[in-house]
Amino acid sequence: MKTLFRNATILTMDKTHGSSAFAGDLLVSNGRIEAIGPNLAADGARIIDATNKLLMPGLVNAHTHSSETFLRGRYERMPLEIWLLYAYPLLMGPQVDKRLVYLRSALLAMESLKSGVTTLCDDFFDPPGHDIERLACAFSAYEDAGIRANVSSAVMNIHALDALPYAREIMPEELKAKLDFGPPMTATAYMDYCDTVLSTLHGRANGRLRFMVAPSAPQRCTADMLQACYTLALRHGVPMHTHVLETKTQAVTGPEFYGKSLVAYLHDLGVLGPNTTIAHSVWVSDADIDLMGEAGCSVAHNAISNLKLGAGIAPIRRLLDAGVHVGLGTDGLSSNDTARIFDVMRVAALVQSASGPDYGDWLKADEVLTMATLGGARTAMLEDVTGSLETGKAADLLMLDLKSIAFTPLSDIGKHLVYSENGRSIELVMVDGRIVVEDDRMTLIDETEILAEIRERMPAYQANHAKLERANAIFEPTMAEVHRRAALAEIGFNRYVASGVKR
């Protein structure tokens, strides 16, 4: 099956052309880009007239959590430590059933594809355990929708109160007693689970769906767990996907528990390397950034989530200068409320200017577009597969209407994409050579039916979640105090535009 896009404006985002667009044809054959150039032979292909259309690489969402998909539009004005109580309750209820696991991933995939995201990295979180049949439901949803995905199974094996500074001291004894979770998962047990996933689900859908190893955060996992994860990631050529230094509380955590920053801790354990992908990286010091650059690790920058949870502004210019690979993520739909990378591009580009007056350091549209495409692919260790339009790579691409309002009048296409476009100009989305969205319609799954089923299931789901929120509210004063004490701590640098707390 071949497709020829005729007479297109092409933005490859490859290392040679970057965001400089040029006119030409693009031929897709057997899922791959076979040729890019002028006047290509049709060779029996379906011909799509791409006059006044832009062809560009599909966007990569470098960090999200499908577990939050049903929690959009629910929270605001909560720092991470408080929000976690409600989005990831400490006192858990019964797990959602497997059909809901499927539906939440299907919803995430639909919103992603329709807004131009062709690859997503789902840090799949499904406490209390790890169940391959449940994980398979997420894989099935991504397979059915036609998206490319890296899916993890996030693990933590340190008690919540031992992963937060001050928490044991602040929390009243009677509340601590409620948080007895039994024996934590061992590194050996998690490795056994990962081995099973790697030999079954990993590589499904013609290699489009992959597994990534995901210790939730350094302070939430034992040292042997982190080391086992990194060894496994190296052996299988997959990322070790983890959360590091999202909030100031986490900047206090490292010195408090390990006598050094969390990045230095990862480095000293030997797990900071090219397979390490760090979500957030907001409260990293200059020394941390040097270590990250030397290690050649990656960062998933979640500009909107960081603002929603008041985490601060990540030092993206310094990370880029140090040679860290940077991609863009939405984070979960509870700390962002959409799966749209177009929104993240715009905010990521703009928010850096609040870091300081040195306008030479503010991000360029071209750099932000790279983060959303090839940079994101690198953070997912898929840079040889997707992220740019190049012969031999998978045909993961978008076709946008250049006659839409967002591109009228047309100046610099890269700047339009970052500052003006929001995904509404997308006319066609292709993944692995298959058209998965055309004329705003999912071609492989029935969007209307899936949305109707979700709406039908939501009253019961939301009532249950509200019950969990009420049960977990007893811990809020403790989390608020942890946040307050960390905010007052002197750590030598700041990622807010102002410092200090009122009370």
Residues near Zn ion (CB under 5 A) are 279, 331
- Min dist CB 68 to Zn ion, Å, is 9
**What is the closest distance, in whole angstroms, from the C-beta atom of residue 392 to Zn ion in the complex?**
32
Distance in Å from the first CA to the final CA of the chain: 65
Pick the closest to residue 283 from 259, 308, 319, 258 (CA basis).
319
**Nearest to Zn ion of 277, 352 (CB atom):** 277
CB nearer to Zn ion: give 61 or 425: 61
Tell me the closest approach of the beta carbon of residue 333 to Zn ion, in angstroms: 11
Q: Which is nearer to Zn ion, 100 or 279 (CB)?
A: 279
**Rg of the chain (C-alpha set):** 22
Closer of 145 and 214 to Zn ion (Cβ): 214
Q: Which is nearer to Zn ion, 145 or 279 (CB)?
A: 279
Q: How far apart are CA 407 and CA 416, in angstroms?
A: 6
- Distance in Å, CB of 257 to Zn ion, minimum: 20
Smallest separation, CB 88 to Zn ion (Å): 10
CA gap 464, 440 in Å, rounded: 33
CB contact set of 9 (below 8 Å; sequence gap of 6+): 21, 22, 23, 50, 52, 53, 54, 55, 402, 413
Q: Give the span between the Cα atoms of 138 and 101, in whole angstroms.
A: 6
Contact 244, 297 (CB under 8 A): no
To Zn ion, the closest distance from the beta carbon of 74 in angstroms equals 16
Residue 381 CB, nearest distance to Zn ion (Å)? 18
Give the nearer residue to Zn ion in terms of CB position, either 55 or 278: 278
What's the closest the beta carbon of residue 117 comes to Zn ion, in angstroms?
16
Cβ proximity to Zn ion: between 279 and 377 the closer is: 279
The token pair at 19 is 């965001």
Residue 242: closest CA among 329, 348, 137: 329
Q: Is the dihedral of CA 308, 311, 312, 318 positive or negative?
A: negative
9 vs 253, which CB is nearer to Zn ion? 253
For the four alpha carbons of 189, 195, 201 and 205, in that order, the dihedral sign comes to positive
What values do phi and psi take at 17, rounded to 5? -95, -20
For the bound state, the minimum distance from the C-beta of residue 243 to Zn ion, rounded and expressed in Å, comes to 5
Token pair 């993520």 is found at 329
Cα distances (angstroms) measured from residue 39 to each of 30, 327, 450: 20, 34, 41
CB 147 within 8 A of CB 112: yes
> Cβ closer to Zn ion: 25 or 331?
331
